[in-house]
Amino acid sequence: MSDYGDGNFMDMVSHWAAPPSPISDVFLQTNQSEKRSGLVDRVAARVGRKIPPLRIGNPSQFNLFRKPKTVPFSIEISPGLNQSVLLQSPSQLISPFSFSDDGLPEMVENPGDNHANTTMIFNNNVPHQPMHFDLPPQEDSFAIPIHNSAYIQCHVDLVGSPLVDSFESGVADETDIIKLVSLDDESKSEEEDDEYSQDEDTYTDEDDDNADELVVKPSSPKRSRKYEVSNMMTARKTSKDPRVILRMETEEDHPDDGYRWRKYGQKIVHGNPNPRSYYKCSHKGCNVKKQVERGADDVKILVTTYDGIHGHTAPATRSSSSSGSKKRSGSSVPDRLGRPPFSSFSAAQDVRPFPYPSTWAPQDMRRPFPYSSASATQDMRPLPSSLNPGVDMTHLYMKGLSKLPTLRVNQNHGCTGQNDEPRVINQNQGLMGQNYELKTDHVIPEGPEVYKGIIERLLANCGVKVDCKNTGEKKL
């Protein structure tokens, strides 16, 4: 990817908006880029640092994302925007399948907000039509292995002055930057670059031959690529279930998402020294699976891939949801670094070098590791993350909500059992970005709701309607 240099947000914005394109035009037309310009400065001033640039996935980071034919789209979320924001403002979640008739997102401002607060409203009434949209130039792109996938990158910086806690009322979206990223595999991306440098017309996409597959076809020069994306519903060829990929920065190897999982396998996959763990939902009859692995280049990043939708409610108790184990994955014991059990968001930890031996190259890449990535007590890998190892999705949710003035609520709601921090909720903003009356009995979504909300809204933005009720059915 291009280097956004000093991390200045405007570098990214200009980079993004530079080539004339439908999306960039929209941005410019709505003057949002200008507003954001000021926003960035204000936010940066508040947090005492520059807004980090959007990160475009490093193709070498996740071998998970290598297969070119399985590239739908990618969404990256800037620091300060996490799962909770998706729940609060799902309209911010962009899908290339959710554009209006002209293929463009409709930009609006949230009402009742003095700050520039751009969200995107999509017209989902455009089924099964090829859509054209321009994407920001990608110099690093990567593939997601299954069609109908969403990719979320959540940076959760809890060190020092947590970004999400640094904002004032009503500015929940100031740094909520979502970026569509075209996906492709590393090698192909490189090839594209070469070809673009020569003659864009020479580009051919092997996926073009497959009408059933989602096609992300560059058809314009590198700096202003136009992509054609077939409808998602017809793109679903190889995946039976919707797949959502979550990327988040956390030390915990198996963050609690509210469901109980049984680990059934672990394997080293090509291109990633970190093992991938395979989990199945422990609920009887539920076929939801997930894969958890660390990024190849950045072990701070935990990549969780969910396959399918739970057709049941989450277990009543969440304490056992983390791997479902009694102790192995629990955080009540010192972690692999010998650190004390998780109790709260803590100060920064030293960044530690990742101690994989450089010469380590097992003949059989499958199971060279004597540890389980899902077992914090057994997995002795030090992780160079500064995050507290006990962060789970509920915590992320809470941290996200805490962007706005906080309100103590009944701690019985969504108690994780992992810390005693008072639960806080967003006073001013509801789940849909609407203003709420101040209430004191808001139920804080628990892990299942967080997870479900993310999944549902991801899929909803992809044009997939999901029914997560107890019927066990799902509508696609």
Which residues form the interface with DNA (CB under 7 A)?
A: 63, 69, 145, 238, 260-271, 276-278, 280, 282, 289, 291, 320, 323-329, 365-367, 369-372, 374-375, 378-379
Q: How far is the CB of 1 from DNA (least distance, A)?
A: 22
Q: How far is the CB of 285 from DNA (least distance, A)?
A: 14
Q: How far is the CB of 468 from DNA (least distance, A)?
A: 21
Residue corresponding to tokens 């849909």: 432
Helices (H), 68-221: 83-88, 186-198
Q: Closest CB to DNA among 135 and 268? A: 268
Structure tokens at 378: 């057994």
Q: How far is the CB of 377 from DNA (least distance, A)?
A: 8
Strands of 33-105, DSSP E: 74-77
Residue corresponding to tokens 């009859």: 285
Q: Closest CB to DNA among 12 and 64? A: 64
Q: Closest CB to DNA among 362 and 422? A: 362
Q: Closest CB to DNA among 325 and 385? A: 325
Give Cα separations from 75 to 60, 214, 472 (angstroms): 17, 16, 28
Structure tokens at 86: 């998706």
Report angle CA 294, 177, 134 to the nearest 5 degrees: 95
Q: Closest CB to DNA among 359 and 471? A: 359
CB contact at 8 A, 368 and 127: no
CB contact at 8 A, 409 and 421: no
Q: Closest CB to DNA among 112 and 340? A: 340
Q: How far is the CB of 474 from DNA (least distance, A)?
A: 17
Q: Closest CB to DNA among 179 and 336? A: 336
Say what the alpha-carbon torsion angle 262, 269, 447, 402 is, to the nearest 10 degrees: 160
The long-range contacts involving 23-29, CB below 8 angstroms and separated by at least 24 positions, are 23/104, 23/105, 23/133, 23/134, 23/135, 23/180, 24/134, 24/136, 26/104, 26/105, 26/107, 27/107
The residue type found at 26 is V
Helices (H) and strands (E) in the chain, counts: 8, 13
Q: How far is the CB of 241 from DNA (least distance, A)?
A: 10
Q: How far is the CB of 254 from DNA (least distance, A)?
A: 8
CB contact at 8 A, 360 and 268: no
Furthest-apart CA pair in the chain: how many Å?
62
Q: Closest CB to DNA among 100 and 313? A: 313
Q: How far is the CB of 69 from DNA (least distance, A)?
A: 7
